[in-house]
Structure 1
Amino acid sequence: MTNSTLTQATARDWLRRQSRWSLPEIIFWPLLLLPFVLFPTYLPLANQIAIAALFALSVDLILGYAGIITLGHAMFFGLGAYCAALLGKNGWGEPLTGLLIAGAFAGFIGFVASFIIVRVQHLALLMITLGLGFLTLELANSLGWLTGGADGLRVPRTWPIFNYFRFDLWGYTAYGYSLAVLFVCFLLSRRLVNSSFGLALRGVRENSTRMPAIGSAYKSHQQIIYTISAAMAGLAGALLAQTTSTVALEVLSFNRSADVVVMLILGGTGRLYGAIIGAIIFLVARDQLAGINPQYWYFWIGLLLMVVVLFMPKGILGFISRLAGKRD
């Protein structure tokens, strides 16, 4: 057996092991249903967490697996939100088709932007993504006749899901809907990263200059994952518009892009579950700290972030894996 055959067999075995569901994973997802029973008054917050987790998951695909750093991914989140809102405002409130259209639109813009993204690296990449985000924000602000500008958009109530599940004031349907979309996107992401394509992405992240030497078209890999990530971010934005019936310029803001990076740092990049854990920790901490100290709650978030970076550089999940004796 040649070295090449042995390497391929080893890679296949590793991917097969990675694809198996572990017991903690099987337990984790039913736990996300507990707010329906134990914390019904916090369902609106749970809905925000599910949406933020989906957005963080989209960023993790490019940051944690492909090594594409970004500070402007809220552009795609906002595009998805405005697309779904405008569909609803113009009489089309069917949630699932609106969700898919919004995701496809954000994905198309992401595909166009990817031709620029794959040509720069490091600090230049940060500046490009940041600039694209600011450009989109100012464009939305200037097109007030379409986006509502600083006043935002009021979206007519979304139609019932499958013409049966109506969006209620307590947030039962909204959270169930967002959680279902998050789970489906997680399954797709999990299958993606635990494939040969996912291995190629890890290779790009570790050393993009060596990838062409083994025959990998790494730029096309980056373009594909960036497009998928943009579409997923658009889905998250569309969920926000559909479940809250409002869209403001804040969906395109730098703060939203920065917050999602903080979530990934807290949970751990390149792990998928890190996006969800980070979103839970960040939004629950923000909710509780804002209630205790409305003016200075960001101080405590900053302190939490410093503790995690100093003592858990690979995030909370990375720290737990190290305690369990597992290697990345």
Structure 2
Amino acid sequence: MSIQANNPHQILSAGLGWTRLEIIFWLALLLPFVLTPSYLSLASQIAITALFAVSLDLILGYAGIVSMGHAAFFGLGAYTAGLISKAGWGEPLTGLVIAAALAALVGYGMSFIIARFRHLALIMITLGLGLLLHEAANSASWLTGGADGLQGVKIRPLFETFKFDLYGTTAYAYSLAGLFLMFLIARRLIHSPFGLALRGIRENWTRMPAIGADSQAHIRKIYTVSAAIAGVAGALLAQTTETVSLEVLSFQRSADVLVILILGGAGRLYGGIIGAIIYMVARDQFSGVNPQYWYFWIGLLLIAVVILLPNGILGGLSRLTVRWGGTWR
């Protein structure tokens, strides 16, 4: 193999190309508009959950930062979008930008603490952040609605034309567009020298400074980006459902997105999307059969995946799909 072929910049640039399998995958996400129009609301929820999973994968799968309270940024984005709507500014795109900015600001502040710790201490810090914001939202009932949730959220039609209604057509198109745009940003980051440095930090945090990489600065940057994307996901949920409940800040939501990444495969951006599709569809079907014990079946599915496919479902699929146009990026 030539030296030129081993050039890191060429390898990273090659990763930015789209494989045939990726193109087919994104086109397939348009099929619900035609094949299952009655399930577009569920499809919208899947797209939002997938975006949330992608945000966590940036710090967990690529930088090795385990977060047990990532719903803090999701909920922050949801409440931001809901509150500015109640204040009279219901334009959806502006709401997304403001939610992302506020989540990024809080994430940036937290990143100075996150970048200093690893392992168990890091888990406890992120868990504490999530619980803190959840309790704050519950206590500030005059602002958030407390346990009753934030009611009266009114979102204006998208581009003053497309209304958010019970059919879910606009909601799914809007959520899918948000997922795709944020995915492009995440993909560009991962297939860059910055993304390569993140992988190095994940593998050996203490040795990266020896080659000139500032581990703490890189962690602060990716944590801020991850928080912003999670905020966008939360804002999408608030805007498409026109309500915000305390559940958006719950530990359950943080735990669910971890389960999704384990199912799909962490360290692969598509793993979060695949995991979200499988998890949300399974939850919808299992809860329909047995509303009280549906999580039992999710647990069995998780155990089976961990035992049979330790790299996640996408890791197993990747070995089978190389012949169909290359691996997943």
The TM tier, using the shorter chain, reads over 0.9
Matching residue of 1:103: 100
Selected match of 1:80 from 72, 77, 82: 77
In 1, distance between residues paired with 2:60 and 2:5? Answer: 26
In 1, distance between residues paired with 2:320 and 2:187? Answer: 24
- The answer to whether residue 89 in structure 2 is matched with residue 92 in structure 1 is yes
Superposed CA deviations along residues 9-43 of structure 1, whole A, max 9, x for unmatched, are 52112112211110000101111011111101101
Deviation, 1:155, is: 3.4
Selected match of 1:253 from 245, 250, 253: 250
Q: Secondary structure at the match of 1:163?
A: coil
Amino acid of the residue matched to residue 120 of structure 2?
A: L
In 2, distance between residues paired with 1:239 and 1:162? Answer: 15
In 2, distance between residues paired with 1:23 and 1:317? Answer: 16
In 2, distance between residues paired with 1:7 and 1:57? Answer: 32
Amino acid of the residue matched to residue 224 of structure 1?
A: K
In 1, distance between residues paired with 2:5 and 2:185? Answer: 23
In 2, distance between residues paired with 1:158 and 1:199? Answer: 40
In 1, distance between residues paired with 2:290 and 2:29? Answer: 28
Deviation, 1:162, is: 1.1
Q: Secondary structure at the match of 2:132?
A: helix
- The answer to whether residue 200 in structure 2 is matched with residue 203 in structure 1 is yes
Q: How many residues align?
A: 324
Deviation, 1:174, is: 0.5
Matching residue of 2:316: 319
CA contact (8 A) 2:19 2:328 kept: no
In 1, distance between residues paired with 2:94 and 2:321? Answer: 43
Matching residue of 2:285: 288
Deviation, 1:168, is: 2.1
Amino acid of the residue matched to residue 321 of structure 1?
A: S
Matching residue of 2:272: 275
Gaps of 5+ in 1: 1-5
Matching residue of 1:3: none
In 2, distance between residues paired with 1:306 and 1:132? Answer: 28
- The answer to whether residue 226 in structure 2 is matched with residue 221 in structure 1 is no
In 2, distance between residues paired with 1:8 and 1:233? Answer: 36
- Please give the residue correspondences for 1:102-251 in structure 2 after superposition, counting only pairs within 5 Å: 102-251=99-248
Q: TM-score, normalised by structure 2?
A: 0.96
CA contact (8 A) 1:155 1:241 kept: no
In 1, distance between residues paired with 2:227 and 2:16? Answer: 24
Q: TM-score, normalised by structure 1?
A: 0.96
Deviation, 1:322, is: 3.2
- The answer to whether residue 24 in structure 2 is matched with residue 42 in structure 1 is no
Identity of aligned residues (%): 65
CA contact (8 A) 1:137 1:253 kept: yes
Selected match of 2:300 from 292, 298, 303: 303
Deviation, 1:8, is: 10
